[in-house]
Structure 1
Amino acid sequence: MIRCLAIDDEPLALGQLVSYINKVPFLQLAAQCQSALEARKFLENDTVDAIFCDINMPDLNGMDFVKSLAVPPLIVFTTAYSEYAVEGFKVNAVDYLLKPFGLQDLQRAANRIKDRLTESVAAAKPATDSDDSLFLKTDYRIVKVSIPDIRYVEAMSEYLKVWIEGEAKPIITLLSMKKMQEHLPNNFMRIHRSYIINLNKIQEVNKNRVIMDSDTYLPIGDLYKDAFQAYLDTKFLGK
């Protein structure tokens, strides 16, 4: 299922949008919001694969809202004003629905979302080879990554940040933590819902934190404490 968020400040328009979304079998409505500010608050604690977003809204319009997202999901803009179409595609919108639109129009946009996600996940799927490397898609490129050079992996909405030894910026790729973990060797361990670490890169363990370097302190989640402690016990020398 593709989780999506519906945003429109007009109750009737929002109700119609929600009705159409519920008629598409592979779409799952995660939430409906009557403002971009309400949607932003929702996204602070949850994630979606796509957003159907009105543009003309008070306080914060849909275009500026999308531009404010660090890593926006797939976007379909809905509006009664055709002059926004060009600007919509400048922010890489999947589709642009001009009001009033029908179920068939939304189905077309939904199919484009589905195709885009399928292509992205297929391209981002790691391919391991004999020299301990994998391939990740990032910014329309497919890059080869040496697994021993991965310091840690950080979850960020439906994307991952892959932090590499010696690199100041991470590789950002559309991939789940579960899928990434399946393609990493045993010296990688998940210590938090948002972090997988290379155990060989640990510098220090301090209470409920793993210190990777002087600037990187990663929390150990309650669900992962026992497994991580069991690993430490196999390596610990002392009383």
Structure 2
Amino acid sequence: MIRCLAIDDEPLALQQLVAYIKKIPFLELAAQCQSALEAKKYLEQETVDAIFCDINMPDLNGMDFVKSLQYPPMIVFTTAYSEYAVEGFKVNAVDYLLKPFGLQDFQRAANRIKERLEPSVANNQDDGTIFVKTDYRIVKVTVADIRYIEGMSEYLKIHIEGEKPIITLLSMKKMEERLPDTFMRIHRSYIVNLDKIQEVNKNRIIMDADTYLPIGDLYKEAFQRYLDTKFLGK
């Protein structure tokens, strides 16, 4: 499922946007906001794969809102003003919907998002590798070489043994689903390769002399169960 955020300051327009999202089988409505400022607060705590965003809004317009995001997800702009189209594509928007738009136009935009996101990670369970989309390339990664994965808003940073990290547009949940059971989520922002752990110190996992990862409260119990299966001693 592709998690979506709907933003529009007009209640009726927002209601229509939400209704269209719910009609598309592969879209999931994560939240709806009536301002860009409300959306910014939401994104400080949560991640989404795509944003359907009105441009003309008070306080902070949709265009400036998207420009303010360090790692913007897939963006579809919605507006009643056609003059914003060129500027919208300058910020790499997936599509631009001119109000009033129908379900067919919305479906087209949704399909474009799906096409861009689907290649982000592909599994090859037989040889222990995955393919990860980064920038304009799709690179092959040996799963056993991944040390840990760090969530950064809408993006993930994959830390690999002896190589530079790879940054890809993907949610933590989707990455979790694609990794083998040698990986475990220990925090809202971290998934670790259990085979790469050097030490556990209180509520921290030590990967090396310079890397200390926190264990989140929601994940302590599951991680402790894993430790219990490996622990030798009283």
TM-score (norm 2): 0.81
Instruction: Give the distance between the partners of 1:180 and 1:156, measured in 2 at CA.
Output: 18
Alignment correspondent of 1:126: 123
State the Cα distance separating 1:30 from its structure 2 match. Answer: 2.8
Q: Which moved more, 1:145-154 or 1:77-86?
A: 145-154
Distance 1:6 1:208, change over 3 A: same
Are 1:28 and 2:23 counterparts?
no
CA-based RMSD of the aligned residues comes to 2.9
1:196 equivalent among 186, 191, 194: 191
Instruction: Give the distance between the partners of 1:66 and 1:141, measured in 2 at CA.
Output: 23
State the Cα distance separating 1:97 from its structure 2 match. Answer: 1.0
1:47-196 to structure 2, matched below 5 A, reads 47-117=47-117, 119-121=118-120, 124-128=121-125, 130=127, 133-156=129-152, 159-174=155-170, 176-182=174-180, 186=182, 188-196=183-191
Instruction: Give the distance between the partners of 1:232 and 1:190, measured in 2 at CA.
Output: 14
Counterpart AA for 1:135:
F
Conserved? CA contact 1:49–1:73, under 8 Å: yes
Conserved? CA contact 1:192–1:223, under 8 Å: yes
State the Cα distance separating 1:88 from its structure 2 match. Answer: 1.2
* Matched pairs, number: 232
State the Cα distance separating 1:236 from its structure 2 match. Answer: 5.3
Counterpart AA for 1:59:
D
Counterpart AA for 1:196:
I
Conserved? CA contact 1:161–1:173, under 8 Å: no
- Once the two structures are superposed, what CA deviation does each residue of 1:56-78 show, in whole Å capped at 9, x if it has no partner? 22222111211222332221101
Are 1:12 and 2:12 counterparts?
yes
Counterpart AA for 1:42:
Y
Identity %: 77
Conserved? CA contact 2:187–2:219, under 8 Å: yes
Instruction: Give the distance between the partners of 1:173 and 1:16, measured in 2 at CA.
Output: 27
Conserved? CA contact 1:189–1:198, under 8 Å: yes
Alignment correspondent of 1:211: 206
Choose 1 or 2 for highest CA Rg.
Answer: 1
Instruction: Give the distance between the partners of 1:147 and 1:201, measured in 2 at CA.
Output: 12
Distance 1:232 1:9, change over 3 A: closer
Instruction: Give the distance between the partners of 2:114 and 2:230, measured in 1 at CA.
Output: 46
Distance 1:238 1:24, change over 3 A: closer
Q: Unaligned 5+ residue runs, structure 1?
A: none
Conserved? CA contact 1:136–1:173, under 8 Å: no
Instruction: Give the distance between the partners of 2:196 and 2:3, measured in 1 at CA.
Output: 35
State the Cα distance separating 1:138 from its structure 2 match. Answer: 1.4
Counterpart AA for 2:4:
C
Alignment correspondent of 1:38: 38
Distance 1:142 1:28, change over 3 A: closer
Conserved? CA contact 1:5–1:29, under 8 Å: yes
